[in-house]
Amino acid sequence: MGEKIEVMSTVTVQHTPDLYKIVDALNRTLKHQDLMFGLALDREDNKKAVFTIYRT
């Protein structure tokens, strides 16, 4: 319990249909290095996505 998740970087990019595949590949490849990647639609513009890098 007490685990912290640190946001290392956040960037907003153009949303594309295959963008999630990059995030999935990064998560599968780098999870053992305590890195996690997230992707969410921008709340204000659904043509943009917010990509976040976390250290776990």
pLDDT digits (tens, 9 = 90+) for 2-56: 679 999 999 999 999 999 999 999 999 999 999 999 999 999 999 999 999 999 9
Residue 54's closest CA among 7, 4, 3?
Answer: 7
Residue 39's closest CA among 22, 29, 47, 56?
Answer: 22
- pLDDT the model gives residue 3: 77
> Do the domain assignments include residue 1?
no
**Single-letter amino acid code for the residue at 22:** I
Give the count of domains, the chain. 1
Beta bridge partners of 11: 51
Residue 1 has pLDDT above 90, yes or no: no
> Do the domain assignments include residue 24?
yes
Token pair in block for residue 11: 């960037």
- pLDDT the model gives residue 2: 64
Token pair in block for residue 26: 């990064």
pTM of the complete model = 0.89
**Domain of 16, in residue numbers:** 6-55
> Do the domain assignments include residue 29?
yes
